[in-house]
Structures are given as structure tokens and as C-alpha cells.
Structure 1
Amino acid sequence: MRWVARTIKSIYNPLYHSSNYEGVVVKSVYIEELESGYNLENESFMLQDMTQRKTKDGRPYILGSLRDKTGQVACVYWDVPDYVEDWISSGLVVLVTGKVVTYKDALQITITDLNQSHNPDLNAFLPSSKRPREEMVAELRQFIAALAEPWQTLAAQILLEEPFLSQFANAPAARNMHHAYIGGLLEHSLSMAHLADYLAELYPHVDRNLLISGALLHDLGKVYEYNVSDSFSYSEDGRLTGHIIRAIIIVEKTADAISFPEDKRRQLIHLIASHHGTHEWGAPVLPKTLEAILLHQIDLLDSRVQGFFDHLDNEKTAAQWTTKKSFMFGTELRKPEGY
């Protein structure tokens, strides 16, 4: 079987037997390839959502998940030794020894040992958009080119200048709920722009330029909210400022620099400030204009639909229904026909 060959390969590879190895560990197996019964020997994965607990008799254990660019899988580590507890934390790339098992109709890795991985190539562990970056950047340029002035100049100066464009194209849209992958922010913004363009034609009295600009700019602060190099953890700016306030600051500064009309600026700022929809969801103000109401609903729709697919992608099972409840929807999900 394939996993036997993989196990033999790892046993005789000296790179996989030194917790002090300082070079780049070459990843040899990905989560999408795992099967029940697969033995792992110092194989590299990124540790996610780790919680440390104790059994009833006081023995330490860890629950969490392991990820790479192809997906994620649940893991458990019983009787965690002190030397591991001293350094382990979510977001680290670790060398895993253990076995892949089936637990509640889903794959799970039972860990027997963990070592630190030094100098990992993060491209192997962080998921990326399925859409080519060049294709999405070209689509972004097309949307901006189709805007009337002064919206076109504002959007172009914010989004198309380097180094911001590269950062915008690489950023995730969230840490785990939806579009939580490299390129996710740009993909989400473009999806919203398509929906905005359609709804501006469907409903009367909609300011198309305002709505599409809001779709493209509403989440631009997320470029500074997450650390792409640290498993999408919150940055200092993300913790202390947040993406809504950061986006408003950037739009205000750029609007000042190009003498953007005050009324249009106020309308756009309102869209950015209200796009979460409710105070409970982090909106400083509630949506009060037609475009703001539409933008919130577009954001909600695209995030929920992609969140549905992201949950399915993270389940490595051929069953019709997911085995785990979706955190977003609070229930198991049924896969669509042909998925």
C-alpha cells in the first residue's frame, strides 16, 4: 500500500529524526493523501486550534488539528511529556510521529511524539485560493477600470499600488470561518464585486460605483490584521485597531490626497463602518443607506456560501453528510450532488 512505502521512506530519511535539525525539512506527505492506518514518522504539519487538557487522573493531553495547504485533520496527543509542553503552541510547524485512525467516521491522527520543525517552508502549510493570483489581479484591474471617476482613481491608488497590491493578493479574508487561505481576501472582494454589479442592475436607485467600490475596499484593513507568516494569527494592528478602523483611515488619507468629494467619501466610509451589519458583529454603526444594506447582505451571502464549501473541503470523508458540525451553521452539512 502507498502508506507503507511512505513510512519506510521516512524511517530511513535522517532529516526526520532530529528535533534539532536546522535545515529546511522537505515535506513528503500531505493531508489529502492520508488514509486510516498510515504511520507517520516526524512528518511536518502546522498545529492549529490547540487546547491543553488533563484526564480525570491528571494526565496531560492535547486536542487540536493539523493542517497543510491541502486541508486539515483532527489530532489528539495523550500523556504529553514536559519537554513538549514547554514549547508547544498553535501556529507552529511541528514534526509529528503517530498513526492515522478513524474516529467517529472521520480521520484523526493519534500523536505519539512531537518535535519542533526549524525553518519550515510555509507555502507547504498554508492553504491558497484555487483561483490563480494573476487571474484575480487582472479581474481586480478590470473592475476598477470600469468605475467612473473619482471612484476609479480612489480605488486604483489604494489597491493597485505596490507593495499593497501584493499584500492584498496574498492576505486571507479570515482566520478560519471563510476564505481562510492565501488569496482569500482578494477572492472574497471580487465575488462581492460581482454580486454588487448584478444587484445594482436588479434594484432601482442603487449607486453602482459606490456599491462596487465598497465591495472592493470594505475589508482592505485585513491586509494588516493577520500575520500571513504565522498561520494567520492576529497582528498587533489587528488586535489594537482592527480592519474596519484601519480601512477607514486608509480611505480617509487617500481621499484627502486626491481631493475626493466629501459627500461621496462619507457614503463610502459608512459602507465600510457598517458592513458587519450589527453592533454584536463588530459594526461601529448600523447600515442606514440602500448601498450599505446591500453591501452587508452581499458580504453575509458570500462568506456563508464559501464557509459552506470550506467546511466540506476540511472533511476528508466520502460520506454524503459531514461528520462534524459546522461552527458557522451549527449543524452537519449535506454535500451537494456531484461534489
Structure 2
Amino acid sequence: MDIKLLKEINKNHLNCIVEVVALLVEVKVRTTKTEKQYADLIIQDTSKKMEVKYWEYEDNKQFFEGLGEATVVKIKGMVGEYQGQIQLTCKQIALLDSHEVRMADLIPTSDWGLDTLQKGLRYFYDKVEAPHLKSLLDQMIFTEEYYERFSTYPAARSVHHNFYHGLLQHVLEVLKFAYTVATTKKLTTRQQERLIVMCFLHDWAKIFEYKPLPTIGFTEEGTMLGHIFLGAHKSMNVMEEIEGFDHEDKLIILNGILGHHGKLEYGSPVLPKTVEAQILHHADCISGDIESILSFMTEQEESEETFTSKLWNMGTDYYKKGR
């Protein structure tokens, strides 16, 4: 039975053999209690990600060892269920030439639309009038060197906004949330402009931390240094090159970038020390957490349970019948 989209596989297919074409994005080799190796595969298309069990890994090590990153595969598998979630047990797996499929059919993409996202960025960019702040954004966002990557990269590997244009959508969400708080609390124009710049730049270095889609994973630079350090370091270097860049603005913006995770144990080397940095931190959390919850609820739509299973990064389950 051919399946066009992974999300079409449901409990009506239990114990049936189906064939799917998908992007193989992750292979984790594990060992049973009897010391037999097997593989947990993660496949995806535009509709969802799905876990696939491959028990005959030991007989086909060479196949997996020869795979490149983000490989297109055709899988024939048995539909099963584990802890309320649909999963496949792979019976056959074969490589497909990337020319045989449209990669756009296999990579999840923001449903906001690129034009809407770009207009949103320009809306907030136009609110920054201070020349030195405008110049900082010009050099770090709106250049040929960076803008395409900033517009296409994901904002995370798996937790939230992990799709094409994901970073762009996340930044725009953070800008919207932060600006609403700033205007509601009547921050000064100078504070608002600094906050807008912080929002633009807080996750900027994810274009260096992550590999471009459809690959899912970290670069060596990202693994060794992380986006918080990389973003603050690059921002400081650009600020130093801008003649007359205000020293107080520099410190406040850098603290915002460095402190946007909010706590030392969450990876920020410093805590937020200004009201702007605190607003950024909370806006970042709202964007990431809500996207994570909504995506998780969508993934578990086929489950008949009233609540989702526990979402690991939030520490709880969620009621899903009121949508």
C-alpha cells in the first residue's frame, strides 16, 4: 500500500504493510539486552516525522555506513503502535536518487509564507532609527552574505521551529511579543530600539550552529562554541567597526544576546541585567514553548487519548480536545 504523506498513516493501517518515500534524517544504533544491534530511524516529509525500527541492522551495516546526510529512501514497513504512537517496523529499505523526488515535498516549511515573514522583518527594521543600530542590523542581517541563510535555516534541531524558514518565523514571533510588552509598559524609544536589535540578533548565530536543511544536526563550530557565544562575539566585532557606536548600547545589547536563555544552567553565561534583556528572554520562551506544544499536539492527533503524552522539554502532558 503506497502512502503519499506520513501523516496519513493511522490506526486503520495497524498490522498492514505500507510503502513510503521520505527523508532519512537520523540513524541511532542501539543494542538489545542480548547484545544484538538494531537501528532507530527517524524519517520525515512535509507532514510529520516518524520513528522506524530496523531490527536487521547487523546484516546491513554497510548500507547505513555508506549513507550521506539527509538521504531520500523508500521504506516498506509494518505499521505498529508503541505507547499510543504509530511507528513502522522496516522490512525493506532502498536509496532513491534525489532527482526522483521533489525535496520540497520532504522538508517541513513554515506555513506563514516567505513574503509575510520578510515583510514582518522589514516592519520592525523600519522602527529602528538610530544610525549605529541600523548599521548593525544592515551588516548582520540584511546582507548578501547572511540574509539567505537567516531566511532559510531552522531555529532548532528538534524542539521548536525546526523547519525551513523556522529561524525567520521564530525571530518575527519574538519581535512581536517583545514589542507588545515594550509598548504596553511604555519603554522609551531608545529602549525599544535596543530591544528590537536584541530580538533580531539573539539567535542569529544559529546560521553557524546548525547545518542547512535538509540535514539535521550541528556543525563543528556549533558544537564547540554554540550560538550564544558566536552571536555575541560577531555582534561585538561588528559594533567595534561602526564608528561612534554607543558604549552603553553595546553593553546592553550584548547582555541581551548572552542572557536570552535566562538562567546560567540553561546555557546563558550571564543573567539578563536590563528590562530589555528580561523582555527578550520571556519573548523567546513564549515563542519556543508554544510552538513546541502546538507541534507536539499535532504529532499526536491520531491518538484517541484526551491528553498528549508528556512533552519532555515542558515536563507535562497537554489537553488536546479543545482545539
Q: Report the TM-score when normalising by structure 2.
A: 0.87
Following superposition, the deviation at residue 247 of structure 1 comes to 1.4
Structure 1 pair 325/85, CA: closer, same or farther in 2 (3 Å)?
farther
Deviation at 1:130, TM superposition (A): 0.9
Please state if 1:332 is matched with 2:317. Answer: yes
Partner of 2:209: 225
| Distance in 1 separating the partners of 2:291 and 2:130 | 32
Summarize the alignment of residues 89-100 of structure 1 with structure 2, pairs less than 5 Å apart. Answer: 91-100=70-79
Q: Alpha-carbon deviations, 1:263-288, whole Å to 9, x = none?
A: 21121111101111112111111111
Report the alpha carbon displacement of residue 320 of structure 1 after superposing the two structures with TM.
Answer: 5.2
* Structure 1 partner of 2:286: 301
> Is the CA contact (8 Å cut-off) linking 2:23 and 2:45 kept in structure 1?
yes
Q: Which amino acid aligns with 1:302?
A: S
1:219 CA drift (Å): 0.6
Give yes or no for contact 2:38–2:58 (8 Å, CA) kept in 1: no
Alignment of 1:14-93 (within 5 A): 29-35=4-10, 36-37=13-14, 38-41=16-19, 43-48=20-25, 50-84=27-61, 87=64, 91-93=70-72
Query: Quick check: 1:169–1:185 contact (8 Å CA) kept in 2?
Result: yes
Greater Cα shift, 260-269 or 135-144: 260-269
Partner SS for 1:299: helix
| Deviations 1:64-84 (CA, angstroms, capped at 9, x unpaired) | 432112111222122334224
Amino acid at match of 2:292: G
Contact 2:308–2:319 (Cα < 8 Å) also in 1: no
Check if 1:268 corresponds to 2:256: no
Where does residue 175 of structure 2 map in the other structure? Answer: 193
User: TM-score scaled by structure 1?
Assistant: 0.83
Question: What amino acid is the match of 2:31?
Answer: K
| Residue type of the alignment partner of 1:305 | I
Q: 2:237 aligns with which of 241, 248, 253?
A: 253
Change in CA separation of 1:332 and 1:49 when aligned onto 2, cut-off 3 Å: farther
Q: Is the 8 A contact 1:105 1:323 kept in 2?
A: no
Residues 180-212 of structure 1: CA deviation (Å, up to 9, x unaligned)? 111111111111111111111222545111111
**Following the alignment from structure 1 to structure 2, what is the Cα–Cα distance between the partners of residues 220 and 296?**
15
Structure 2: segments with no counterpart, 5+ residues: none
Query: What are the superposed Cα offsets for residues 44-99 of structure 1, whole Å, 9 maximum, x if unpaired?
Result: 32334543233333433223432112111222122334224662578443331212
Q: Is the 8 A contact 1:320 1:334 kept in 2?
A: no
Indicate the larger mover: 279-288 or 196-205.
196-205
CA RMSD for the aligned pairs?
2.4
Give the equivalent residue in structure 1 for 2:263. Answer: 278
Distance 1:104 1:242 in 2: 34
Distance 1:332 1:231, change over 3 A: farther
Distance across 1 between alignment mates of 2:176 and 2:53: 42
Alpha-carbon spacing, 1:196–1:55, altered in 2? closer, same or farther (3 Å): closer
Q: Identity, % of aligned pairs?
A: 25
Counterpart pick for 1:155 among 126, 129, 137:
137
Q: 1:229 to 1:172 in 2, by over 3 A?
A: closer
Question: What is the distance in 1 between the residues matched to 2:109 and 2:118?
Answer: 15
Determine the C-alpha separation between the residues in 2 that align with 1:77 and 1:242: 33
Count of residue pairs brought into register by the alignment = 312
Do the aligned residues in 2 keep the contact of 1:106 with 1:316 (CA within 8 Å)?
no
CA displacement at 1:238 relative to structure 2: 0.8
Question: Partner residue of 2:86?
Answer: 107
Letter in 2 for 1:51: K
Change beyond 3 A, Cα 1:285–1:104: closer
Give the alignment partner of residue 116 of structure 1, picking from 75, 80, 95: 95
Describe the SS at the equivalent of 1:233.
coil
Is this contact kept in 2: 1:101–1:108, CA < 8 A?
yes
Q: Which moved more, 1:242-251 or 1:98-107?
A: 98-107
Where structure 1 has 5 or more consecutive residues not aligned to the other structure, the ranges are 7-27
Deviation at 1:102, TM superposition (A): 3.3
The farther-off stretch of 307-316 and 275-284 is 307-316
Amino acid aligned to 1:141? R
SS in 2 for 1:242: helix
